[in-house]
């Protein structure tokens, strides 16, 4: 199969779909790799490293989109890329379609077969291609929040750890999943007082056991959220419903009750955000102030550490890329229910029920799209 790796075009996105070592693995399996010039530079991978691995280097994205059967990216295609997609071309990347009707419309119109990293599942019920970036984003969130709490960035002028005689900052984390647990670990390590809210008692028990009671856990209700939001110096949104739009946990009227100069880091912004006051931002313009509260809502947080993120992502995605390339998309999807869970758009139809529900549009069940699975 001819596999193409274009350079990412999202604002300050320096990750790349495949590392040179991943390219080498695929070439050893008999596949042809085409990489856009400069695609890996932001993550520290030179064009010569890709050439040494056996890839062909081409100038510009057109040669990638015109010739590749499988496009491997990191982030969703921007408008200029969507029009380059061809019918039956396979796109494998993060999509986060639920809050983005325009992207959904364009991908439907392309006729391409679009598989989203974030909804590929594992035998244990996890999300193996989302998990590594959730880990990165969770670990980034407290240090980003700590930075914007500094006075020169507009924050309250609070040190997360405090000092002897001065209390540590209050970090409130909404969600006890992968993002929330990693954010809690880093916030604790930075010396903050941490409280995590979730509606899953088992998730709260796991956190309590993991941190030996150092993290306070609370069952999430509207009344509880209203109270803990008031006390937060840093609020981290870590809520996820796989493939669906994130529910609003912090309503607009709660935001003014927060401490002036407090910070919200809404990691859930890729799926719409869990704070009603949140709107997408970029690495080049990461924050805005609303109701006196600093909002950080960058939609590609792990892009801030592209080398770490690219290796972590490739460790998870390579087996699936290999399966698609070795077997062809139809056989790979039919034989692997976990990869099949990632199918979002198929030849002009939405195959994801959560996306269809979020956008109030019709959807074609995956089984109907692919035909008999056995």
The pLDDT score that the predictor gives to residue 372 is 74
Instruction: Answer yes or no: are the C-beta atoms of 7 and 36 closer than 8 Å.
Output: yes
The pLDDT score that the predictor gives to residue 374 is 59
- For residue 248, the 8-state DSSP code is P
10 Å Cβ neighbour count for 281? Answer: 18
Strands (E), 94-169: 113-116
The pLDDT score that the predictor gives to residue 244 is 87
Which has the closest alpha carbon to 11: 45, 57, 44, 42?
A: 42
The pLDDT score that the predictor gives to residue 70 is 98
Burial state string for 136-173 with b = 16 or more CB within 10 A and e = fewer than 16: bbbbbbbebbbebbeeeeebbebbbeeeeeeebbbbbb
Active-site annotation, residues: 96, 270
pLDDT digit string (tens) for the chain, length 374 residues? 999 999 999 999 999 999 999 999 999 999 999 999 999 999 999 999 999 999 999 999 999 999 999 999 999 999 999 999 999 999 999 999 999 999 999 999 999 999 999 999 999 989 999 999 999 999 999 999 999 999 999 999 999 999 999 999 999 999 999 999 999 999 999 999 999 999 999 999 999 999 999 999 999 999 999 999 999 999 999 998 888 899 999 999 999 999 999 999 999 999 999 999 999 999 999 999 999 999 999 999 999 999 999 999 999 999 999 999 999 999 999 999 999 999 999 999 999 999 999 999 999 999 888 887 75
The pLDDT score that the predictor gives to residue 371 is 81
Handedness of CA 201, 206, 208, 209 (dihedral sign): positive
The pLDDT score that the predictor gives to residue 243 is 81
Burial state string for 34-71 with b = 16 or more CB within 10 A and e = fewer than 16: bbbeebbebbebebebbeebebebbeebebbbeebbbb
Q: CA 7, 133, 272: angle at the middle one, nearest 5?
A: 90
Tokens of 355: 């996306």
């Amino acid at each position: 199969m001819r596999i193409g790796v274009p350079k990412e075009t999202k604002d300050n996105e320096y990750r790349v779909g495949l590392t040179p070592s991943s390219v080498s693995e695929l070439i050893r399996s008999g596949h042809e790799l085409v990489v856009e010039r400069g695609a890996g530079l932001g993550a520290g991978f030179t064009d010569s490293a890709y050439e040494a691995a056996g890839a062909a280097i081409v100038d510009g994205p057109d040669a990638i989109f015109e010739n590749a059967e499988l496009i491997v990216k990191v982030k969703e295609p921007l408008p200029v890329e969507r029009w380059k997609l061809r019918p039956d071309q396979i796109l494998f990347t993060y999509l986060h379609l639920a809050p983005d009707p325009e992207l959904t419309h364009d991908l439907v119109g392309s006729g391409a077969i679009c598989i989203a990293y974030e909804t590929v599942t594992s035998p244990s019920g996890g999300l193996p291609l989302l998990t590594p970036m959730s880990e990165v984003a969770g670990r980034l969130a407290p240090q980003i929040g700590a930075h914007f709490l500094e006075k020169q960035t507009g924050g309250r002028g609070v040190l997360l750890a405090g000092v002897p005689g001065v209390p540590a900052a209050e970090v409130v984390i909404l969600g006890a999943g992968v993002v929330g647990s990693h954010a809690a670990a880093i916030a604790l390590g930075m010396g903050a007082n941490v409280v995590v809210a979730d509606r899953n008692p088992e998730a709260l028990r796991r956190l309590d056991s993991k941190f030996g009671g150092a993290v306070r856990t609370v069952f999430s209700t509207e009344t509880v959220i209203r109270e803990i939001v008031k006390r937060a110096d840093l609020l981290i949104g870590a809520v996820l419903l796989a493939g669906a739009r994130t529910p609003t946990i912090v309503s607009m009227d709660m935001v003014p009750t927060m401490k002036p100069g407090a910070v919200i880091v809404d990691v859930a912004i890729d799926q719409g955000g869990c704070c009603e006051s949140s709107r997408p931002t970029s690495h080049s313009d990461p924050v805005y102030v609303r109701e006196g509260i600093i909002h950080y809502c960058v939609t590609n947080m792990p892009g801030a550490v592209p080398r770490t993120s690219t290796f972590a992502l490739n460790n998870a995605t390579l087996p699936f890329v290999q399966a698609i390339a070795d077997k062809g998309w139809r056989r790979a999807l039919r034989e692997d229910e976990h990869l099949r869970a990632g199918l979002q758009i198929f030849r002009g139809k939405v195959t994801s029920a959560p996306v269809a529900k979020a956008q109030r549009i019709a959807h074609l069940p995956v089984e109907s799209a692919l035909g008999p699975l056995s």
